Each structure stands twice: as C-alpha cells, then as structure tokens.
Amino acid sequence: MIHPAKFRLARLVLWPLLLIGAVLGCATTASAGTGGIVNLPTAGTKIRSGLKIQIDTRWVDGTGYRPVRMRVSSIPAGPAPADRSIRITLRPRGWRMGTVRASVTKIVELPQGAMFSDVTVSVPHYEMWNNFDVETSEDGDRLRDLCVRYVGLPSRNFYNWSEAMPAILVLDRDAPAHSITSSIRRARPNSSELPDIRALASRVPLNSYNSQVTQGIYNTSKAVDDSDILRFLVDLPRLEILRPEDLPDRWIDLTCVDMILVSLDEVARIREVLPARWQAIQDWQASGATLCVFGAGEGYERLDELERSIGAPPLPVDPRRPYARGWTEPKSQRHTVHVNALSEYSGNVAYYNNQGGVAEETTVPDEQSEPPGPRRFLTRTVRQGALVAIAAENPFPGEPQEWAWLLNSLTQDRWMWYRRHGLSMHRENPDYWDLLIPGVGEAPVNSFLVLISLFVIIIGPVNYFMLHRQRRLYLILLTVPLGAIIVTGSLLIYALLTDGLGVRHRTRSVTEIDQLNHHVVSWSRQSYYAGLSPADGLSFPADAAVYPVEHRPVGNPTRDGRQQLIWEDQQRLASGYLTTRSTKQFLVVESRSTDVGLTIDETSDPPQVTNRLGVQVDHLILRTSAGELYAASVVEIASTAGLTAITDEDASDQWSALLSQHRPAFPEGFDPYDLENAADFFETYDYSQYVDQGLPPPSFKASIFERRVRELTSVRFRGLPPRTYLAAVAQPVEVSLGIADSRAEAGFHLVIGRW
C-alpha cells in the first residue's frame, strides 16, 4: 500500500511531466508548411498495446499527395519481442466543417528484434487540414490506446487555400534537420547560411492574411540571420527550406510542390549521395513541374553540365546568342514589379496593406522597366516540365521584380497547379461532361415510346374487350396496375442489359517517351461507368498520381468521408470512388523508366520504323535528323514498315482532321446549364467561392497534355523538332487503368517520342 504522503509527492512530480508530454505529443516545428508531430498514446492514456506511434504530418501546403511519416516502436523502448503487423488509418479533416475527403490505410510491419519501423504514407491533400483521426488495429482487434479523434494541428495565420499560388521548395544542405525524431528545428545563433527568401516571398501572396507584410519584414535591406528566416517561414505555409536528405524518395510525394530551387553544386551532390532523391526530383520535373537551378555561371558556361544532369538533349544553337545554347531568354516586357497572372486574384494583399497603399518592402520600380545588364536566367522545356537556369551563384535575396520576371516568363500554366492539371478540387469543372462514355445515362426513348404505345393499346381497348367478353370487367382493377408494373420492369431490365453489369471506360491519354533516357511520362483522363460497383475498387500503381475529377467537388459535405484509399503494393481505391450505376472520372499522371518506343532506321531509303510500343500504331508522323517529314498509316505490333515522305500541308490537314474527330465534346443535345440549375437546387452552401477568386475557371484545354499536342501540331508541325515522332495508337501506352479488365470505348491515345 502506497503511503498517502508519498502518493501526494508522486502526483506533484508526475502531473508536470504528463503536461510536458502532452505538449510534446503535439509539438510542431519552427518551419514553413503546416502540420506537426503527434505521439500516441497521448498523455494520460492507459497503455495496453505495448506500442507507440509517432506521426509527422509536416509538409508544404499544396494540392497533391502529402507524405506523412510514421514510426512504430515498442514500449518500453527496445527490440520488438515478436513480429507485429499494425493497421493504421488516417482521416484528415479539412477546413470545410471538418469534413473528411478520404481515409487512408497503411499496414506497418514491426519485425521481431527491430527497434522501430518507419514508413511514409502518401495522403491525398486537397485542402487545409484542421485535424485528423487515427484508427489502429492488429489482427482485427482495435488498439484503443492508439486510436484518437480530432488530433489538433498547429495553426498558422489564416490564409485562403489556393490551387493557383505556387508551392515552392528551396533545397539547401545548411537547413536544419527535419527528421521525424526532431520536434524543433534549431538554427545556429547569428548564422546566416540559409537562403534569404524574403524577396521571393514578397511576389506571391503565400499567406493572404500575413501581418508581416505591413511590418516591413520583406525589406531586404534589413539584415537577418537564420533564426529570423525560420521565424519568417512559420507564416508561409507554401514555402519551405529543406535539406535534400529530408526529401521523400517517391516523386508523387513531391506533387504538392510546384517549384524547386537548388544550386547546381547541390545537384551534383544529390546525384552522387542521394540517387533515389534525385530520381524522384527528375520524375517530378518530367511530369510537368518546374526545376530552377542556380549557379549556371555568369556566362552560362555550366549549361551543358546542367543538361547532362537532368538528361536533357542539347538544343540547336543560335549563332547570335551562343551562350544561351538554344535556351529561351526572358522577354523584357515581362520584367514588372507584379506577377501579372495574379493581378486579378482577390486575395492578393502581399503587395498592399490594409489602407491600399504600397507595403513597406523595397523601392518599387515602374510597372514595367528594362532589366539591367544581361538576362539573369534562361528557360527550356524538358519532357513535360520546365527547367530554369539562373546565372547567379546565389540569387538570394535578389530583387522582387527579378522573381516576378521569372514567374511571368514561366507563365501561370507552369506554376499554377489548377492550370497545369486542368482541373480543380474546389471549383466547378465545366469540362467534366465532355468525356462521357457514349450512350451511358441516356434514357431509352425509342423503347419507351414502343412500350408505352403497346401498353396503351393492350391495357386499354384490348384489355377492356377481353374482360368484357368474359364478363369479368371487375378484374380491370388488377390488370391495369399489373400491366404498368410489367412495362416499367421491362424498361428497367432493358436499361440494365443495355448498360451492362461490368465496368466500361473511356480514356484520353498522351504519353511522352524519352527513348534516349529510357523515361516515360503519361497523362490520362479516365472516365468510368460501373453497372455494378467492383468489389475490390480500383487499383493504380504506387508511382501514379491519381486525382478524382468531380463536376462540383464541394458544396455537399455529406458526400465526403466515404472514400477509402488503402496502400498496399499498389494504391487501392477500395470504396466510395466508383459506385453502382454511376460515372466517375480521374486524371492519372505517371512518370517512370521504360524500354518501349519506336526504332527508326534512317539509313534505309526510305526510312523504316519498327514498332516496340506493344500496341498497334494507327497513324504516325515523324521528323528525321535532317528535318524531313515522314508518315505511316498502320504499323502492327513488333513489325517493321516503310515510311512515306509527306509535305507539311498534307500532314497538317490529316492530323487536324484526326484531332478534330476525337476532340472532347458534350453529348448531342446536352445542356450543361440545365444540369447546373438542378445541382444548385440539391447542393448546399458553395464553399468554393473562397478559392482563387477572380481567376479564370479550370479547363482541361489549358492542361499540359492538351497544350503539348497543340504545340507539336501547330503551324504545320513546326513544333515537331528533329528526331521526334507523334503517333495515334489503338490502346494507351504506359497508362495504368483502375480496372484492367474494363471495356474500352471511344478512347483516343497519342504517343510523343524522341529517339
């Protein structure tokens, strides 16, 4: 029995310790982004499972997949006494009434003798997270001490969620460690080794309610040290400085980031020391994002080194500007103090204080001014992404108008997520209805007219005449409703048989193959219809970025919370994504290595092509090393065919007709305005009015894969460079479908290749 005095003493000692533990359990970091570190069991919870879980949700706020790092270890600390398999489910709650878009499940294996087990789970991130739930089980039994609801996340100064503001990541080896075991990032006192990102941050309203704007924090004439920079980052959820060692090693975990800035020297170190991270960066950039590399040399003498690092082929050199090596120089008219694409953004208060005047930052030049000296950066396209070479060894802090010049030169189609992808997770997607599966959802009008005519004739005069002859007119009270049931049931059975019980899909895809570097990037828009919901849901590879496309993603919070994503060897969209007799669309982006392609033999006369794509080629056009255009009609799988010379005019006419024939369009007789009126009647409050006010609506026509085709075929194929081909194929190439055995209808697939 414990002595009362000793019990009181123990209570005086333990309660402060428990309080400290509770604070540390939800500790955050002095860094940008959002999220924090959560420890389970929470303070005061009775430990029953013999385990503890540490969950690190810190990352840059952006649309994409957010990497959530988890560590499972034993209590007390030490080697695990036996193998344990823990099933952990996260349910992030967004800012819209705390709704849950999707729950994400991952099984963590803790082997016997291991001190801990670390995993990273990729969680779809489409809005700010207020808090999240954690459900944990083992062998089907709920581990109550490791289950918690409404785990609060550290708050920042409030800002409007955006799919247009760029999420920017700066890589620097001097950044404090961001490991899962650290709760506070510390900077060395009076150290000034971190990049001074204040001028860059002043050009984009990364936090539209940032009180620091009116406090002169953006004034780069004021000296700061690393601790000041870290404190400044706290209120910038879309800007972060990280060590390359703290990057994830899968490219989809970088999808929340729109731009990465890194020095060329650091690129060389990452390639040598962290090859998996560099591969993730390359796959991310190839998918359509922007990589900015500084330290290219004042005369751009290191451009060839940068091109070799990223696997970019050399461009034709303009003899008037040999230093540029064929890269694009920025235009002077884009050298303005503001980022032009954000001029209509209603939340843009990074430039103005509450009184409407100019915020105290730096001396503001004229709206448009001639940039001093030579061009400070060059740009080019590599695969589907953008590559920027900055001459300066250290571009930080730089001048605000220099950073605005960079963003203006890239254009918003590169660094605005919703423009790059062509869709929104918050605002209405008007293009949703132009890729429906033909015939799905159409009312059987002709069948209805035939059946209703037969019904009227049979149930009317025929029924009356027969019952009258048999002197049983009283049975008309039964025959009329029975006939109505038979007719209605016939219509339902007919519709069911017409649409089928399986899954049908319509896919529009563009695949770009870099045969020199054995790399492929594919963008596909996939539309599904399920007669019966598939029992196992949909499955996509672990390295595919899958974005659900909704006509109106928000407006009815009761729809949320039913989607379940399970991470196994693949990502399985287990439930809530494709329901019975409903349509569903996805945008799927994939970036990986490959060995498929076309083999072009230019030594023969005429040139010949061998099909190694694994699918039949229906139409092919290519430009040889000499700049000549050749075409082919049908090239079977693994076969070789001769090419025919073709003029620019004929090629343009043929492909214009082909592209027009397969252009997405609304079904005949479809009126989207009638549908919107019906949606307005059933849906509740429209939260999307707070997202990116004043900016143009999303459109797939602005997306990378639609713009890429237009670039290649524009002006009589002048955009098709030498040693490049464009092919229309019968089936998608290097495109993963959610249901492999679904029936394809009305698809259109293009392959862009470089050999």
Say which residues have a Cβ less than 8 Å from residue 216's Cβ, sequence separation at least 6.
222, 360, 361
**Looking only at Cα atoms, what is the longest distance across the chain?**
108
The mean per-residue pLDDT over the stretch 725-744 comes to 93
Handedness of CA 224, 227, 232, 236 (dihedral sign): positive
Q: Which two tokens stand for residue 24?
A: 């540390």
pLDDT greater than 80 at residue 359: no
pLDDT of res. 448:
67
pLDDT greater than 80 at residue 704: yes
Q: What is the pLDDT of residues 194-225, one digit of tens each?
A: 999 988 988 876 654 444 443 456 677 788 88
Question: Under CATH, domain 25-152 is a member of which superfamily?
Answer: Macroglobulin (MG2) domain (2.60.40.1930)
pLDDT of res. 109:
96
**Extents of the domains making up the chain:** 25-152, 168-182+192-414, 430-435+504-754
pLDDT of res. 442:
57
429, exposed or middle or buried, with CB in 10 Å at 0-12, 13-18, 19+?
buried
Strand 239-242 to strand 168-171: parallel, antiparallel, or no bridges (unpaired)?
parallel
pLDDT greater than 60 at residue 443: no
Whole-angstrom distance, CA of residue 230 vs CA of residue 175:
10
pLDDT of res. 688:
57
pLDDT of res. 63:
95
Residue 39: band (very low, low, confident or very high) from pLDDT cuts 50, 70, 90: very high
Whole-angstrom distance, CA of residue 453 vs CA of residue 464:
16
Enter the pTM of the model. Answer: 0.86
CB atoms within 10 A of CB 6: 9
Contact call for residues 714 and 706 (beta carbons, < 8 A): no
Between 519 and 693, where is the model more confident? 519
Q: What is the pLDDT of residues 649-684, one digit of tens each?
A: 888 888 988 988 898 888 776 766 666 554 454 454
Between 361 and 561, where is the model more confident? 561
pLDDT greater than 50 at residue 26: no
| Residue owning tokens 């952006």 | 62
Whole-angstrom distance, CA of residue 367 vs CA of residue 337:
6
Contact call for residues 72 and 51 (beta carbons, < 8 A): yes
pLDDT of res. 282:
97
Whole-angstrom distance, CA of residue 221 vs CA of residue 362:
8
The mean per-residue pLDDT over the stretch 15-39 comes to 52
pLDDT of res. 34:
80
| Residue owning tokens 């949700």 | 57
pLDDT of res. 693:
80
Q: In what order do the strands lie in the sheet with 640-642?
A: 597-601, 608-612, 640-642
Q: How many residues does the chain have?
A: 755
Mean pLDDT of the chain: 83
pLDDT of res. 62:
92
3-state secondary structure of 612: strand
3-state secondary structure of 556: coil
**Residues above pLDDT 70, as percent of the chain:** 81
Between 547 and 219, where is the model more confident? 547
pLDDT of res. 279:
97
DSSP one-letter string for 20-68:
HHHHHHT---SSSSB--EEEESPTTPPP-SSEEEEEE--B---SEEEEE
**Residues above pLDDT 90, as percent of the chain:** 49
pLDDT greater than 60 at residue 431: yes
pLDDT greater than 60 at residue 21: no
Lowest mean pLDDT across 75-84, 248-257, 270-279, 477-486: 477-486
Lowest mean pLDDT across 189-193, 236-240, 261-265, 571-575: 189-193
pLDDT greater than 70 at residue 454: yes
